[in-house]
Amino acid sequence: MLTKRRCMFEDDDRNFANPNRLYQLLLRSAGLLFLFAAVPGFAQTSDLLTTRAGHAATLLPSGLVLVTGGVDETGTTQASAELYNPATHTSVKTGGMMNAREHHTSTLLGDGTVLITGGDEQGNASSTAEIYDPSTGKFALTAQMHRAHTAHTATLLNNGNVLIVGGAVAEIYNIAPKPKFTETTGAPVVPRKDHAAVLLTEPSGDVLITGGYNGNQAQDTAELFSPGSQTFVLLKSLMTISRVLHSATRLSTGTVVITGGFSGTSPHTQIDFYDPATKTFSSGGNMLFPRASHRQVLLSNGEILIIGGTTFEGGILSANELYNPSTQQSISQGSLTINRAGHTATLLPDGNTYVAGGVTGGLTVNSAEIIDPANSSFTLTNPMNFPRALHTDTLLRNGMVLLTGGGNQAVFESTAEVFNPTNNTFTQVGSMLQPRESHTATLLQSGTEVLIAGGKSDSGDLTEAELYNVASMTFSATGSMNGGRSLDPAVLLTGGEVLVVGGRHGGRELNTAELYDPTSGTFTYTKGTLNKKRKRMPATLLMTGSVLVPGGEVINNGSGGATGRSTDTAEVFDHANQLFSPVGQMHQEREDNASIMLTDGSVLVTGGNKDDGPQDLYNPATGRFLAVGHLLNTRSRHRMVLLNSNWGKLKGDVLVIGGSSQGSGIFGGLFQALDSVEIYDPRTQKFDKFGTMVDARWGHTATQLTDGRILITGGTGAVTVSGTAEEVGP
Local structure of 641: helix, strand or coil: strand
Q: What's the pTM value of the predicted model, to 2 decimals?
A: 0.58
The CA distance from 309 to 243, in Å, is 14
Q: How many helices (H) and strands (E) does the chain have?
A: 1, 74
DSSP state of 646: G
pLDDT score of 89: 85
Q: Which residues, in sequence order, are CB contacts of 4 under 8 Å at separation 6+? A: none
Element at 23 (helix H, strand E): helix 22-26
Residue 47 CA to residue 33 CA, distance in Å, equals 18
Amino acid letter for position 431: S
pLDDT for the residue numbered 616: 97
Query: Would you say 637 and 659 are in contact if contact means Cβ atoms under 8 Å apart?
Result: yes
Half-sphere exposure of 652 (CA within 13 A, CB side): 11
Put residue 607 in one of left, alpha, beta given phi > 0 → left and psi -120 to 50 → alpha: left
pLDDT for the residue numbered 93: 96
Domains of the chain: 19-375 (2.120.10.80), 527-630 (no CATH), 631-730 (no CATH)
Q: Quickly list H helices, 547-636.
A: none
Strand residues in 227-267 grouped as ranges (E):
231-234, 247-250, 256-259
Residues 450, 397: Cα–Cα separation, whole Å: 11
Cis peptide before 518 (omega within 30 of 0): no
Residue 702 burial (10 A CB sphere; 0-12, 13-18, 19+): buried
- Residues 439 and 416: their CA atoms lie apart, in Å, by 13
pLDDT of residue 73: 84
Cis peptide leading into residue 203 (ω within 30°):
yes
Q: Which pLDDT score is estimated for 374?
A: 55
Please report, for residues 415, 508, 513, 656, the alpha-carbon distance to residue 485 in angstroms, rounded to integers and kept in the order given: 20, 10, 10, 27
Closest CA to 506 of 526, 486, 491, 492: 486
- Beta strand 344-347 with 353-356: parallel, antiparallel or unpaired? antiparallel
Give average pLDDT by consecutive 10-residue segment, the chain, 730 residues. 29 30 33 28 72 93 95 91 91 96 96 96 92 97 96 96 95 95 95 96 91 94 96 97 96 96 87 97 94 92 91 77 90 78 88 87 80 66 89 94 88 94 91 96 97 96 97 97 97 97 93 98 98 96 97 68 78 96 96 96 93 90 96 94 86 94 50 87 90 88 91 83 84
Cα 568 from Cα 605, distance rounded (Å): 11
Q: Which residues pair with 58 in a beta bridge?
A: 66
Taking phi over 0 as left and psi of -120 to 50 as alpha, with beta for the rest, 551 belongs to left
Give the 3-state secondary structure of residue 583: strand
Q: Which residues are within 8 A (CB) of 203 and not within 5 positions of it... i.e. 6 or more apart?
A: none
